[in-house]
Amino acid sequence: MGLESQTEKSIYEKYNLKKVINASGRMTILGVSTPRPEVVNTVCKGLNEYFEIKDLVDKTGQYIANLLNVENAVVVSCASAGIAQAVAGVIVKDDLDLLYNLHASDKYVPREIIVPKGHNVNFGAPIGTMVGLGGGIVVEAGYANECKPDHIESLINPDTAAILYVKSHHCVQKSMLSVTQAASIAKKYNIPLIVDAAAEEDLQTYYQQGADLVIYSGAKAIEGPTSGLVIGRQQFVEWVKLQSQGIGRPMKVGKEGILGLTKAIELYVTDPRQETGQQMVTKMTPFIEKLNAIDGISARVVWDGAGRDIARAEISFDAKVIGKSATEMIHLMKQGEIAVYFREYKANEGKLDADVRSVTAEQLDIIYNKIKRIIQGAN
């Protein structure tokens, strides 16, 4: 038995785990992404060496900053930890007493974090929880379906610590101010702008648009190990780093994560392997055509609602024809030897989306055949 077969057995059979086809995208619940061999190799090397960790943090951060042409950067354990530590950083700054006692201190400092109401979402955990962990208080601006610059300006007061802008498909997209507009307000009132851009693909644009801190997931678009990245202005990133002695301690990232993400960013910038949206369309066109030949199913190409260059297959189920709702199909597709996961956000509309970035053409055939068997009543 070859090494690959032994490894497969040790994971799937030893722990009685299902195999998964990930048609939901870069989702935390499925392990996010699959790093390149070069990244895996760097992680392995990092695990087997010793470093002065502060030196490693500082020097990899500067290396990343140089790659991205930003002032400063730091690797953190994940994007949500980055939010909490960024909020704590702009509240605590370099106040050591507050750093050590943020959880219990009643010392007065500005703590209000203004968030567009349509950005106060649950991304797998609530944005408000991350803000609260960082010692902040969420203040919602505007309405669920609208936030204009004056909605934010009207809330700014001496207790305002920062503006938090969430760039995500989870958020309301229509009638929202832009990052540039938010940055203009932040500059006008001399308060920091934090942008949570966890799943975004452009590692420079929000910094260039005026954000003081920008947070990314290391494991999503960048395809690194489980980790996060915070980039931004020199002093603000230093305040985030300081949180390793405060709330950031239980969120610490290991040496392997630091080195693995640094390598992944280097590859992401110098040797991108991402499929374009049009390449995704080409890959899934035969899949869509076959689905459209099944009575009660219609499929089409849809583009990412947050403006990223990502094409997906939207699959609509006519429950009256196939006898099963989209919600039931989602459940049934997860059963059996191979679990298939879709994007489920539109299930109440009778639809689901297949994200093909992590799916091969052969796996699309498996998905099609499983859908067909379920509809035909096969087990």
pLDDT tens for each residue of 223-257: 999 999 999 999 999 999 999 999 999 999 999 99
Q: What is the pLDDT of residue 273?
A: 66
Question: What's 117's DSSP letter?
Answer: G
Tokens (6 digits) for 370:
């499983």
Closest of 313, 327, 329, 320 to residue 375, by C-alpha: 329
pLDDT tens for each residue of 46-79: 999 999 999 999 999 999 999 999 999 999 999 9
Q: How far apart are CA 96 and CA 117, in angstroms?
A: 32
- Is the predicted pLDDT of residue 30 greater than 90, yes or no? no
Closest of 307, 312, 366, 298 to residue 343, by C-alpha: 312
pLDDT tens for each residue of 337-375: 889 999 888 888 999 998 888 888 999 999 999 999 998
**pTM of the complete model:** 0.84
Q: Which amino acid is at 369?
A: N
If you write DSSP's letter for every residue of 214-271 in order, what string do you get?
A: EEEETTTTT--SS-EEEEE-HHHHHHHHHGGGTTTGGGPPPHHHHHHHHHHHHHHHHS
Q: What is the pLDDT of residue 275?
A: 76
Q: How far apart are CA 134 and CA 147, in angstroms?
A: 24
Q: How far apart are CA 205 and CA 147, in angstroms?
A: 21
pLDDT tens for each residue of 150-206: 999 999 999 999 999 999 877 778 789 999 999 999 999 999 999 999 988 899 999
- How many other β-carbons are positioned within 10 Å of the β-carbon of residue 114? 30
Q: How far apart are CA 111 and CA 144, in angstroms?
A: 23
- Is the predicted pLDDT of residue 126 greater than 50, yes or no? yes
Contact between residue 199 and residue 217 where contact means Cβ atoms under 8 Å apart: yes
Partners of 317 in beta bridges: 297
Q: How far apart are CA 186 and CA 207, in angstroms?
A: 13
pLDDT tens for each residue of 257-306: 999 999 999 999 988 767 788 899 999 999 999 999 999 999 999 988 77
Which helix (H) or strand (E) covers residue 37, if one does? Answer: helix 37-47
Contact between residue 338 and residue 19 where contact means Cβ atoms under 8 Å apart: yes
Q: In order of start, what are the domains of the chain with their CATH numbers? A: 3-32+274-376 (3.90.1150.180), 37-270 (3.40.640.10)
Chain Cα centroid distance, residue 75: 15
Give the angle 343-271-167 at the CA atoms, nearest 5°: 40
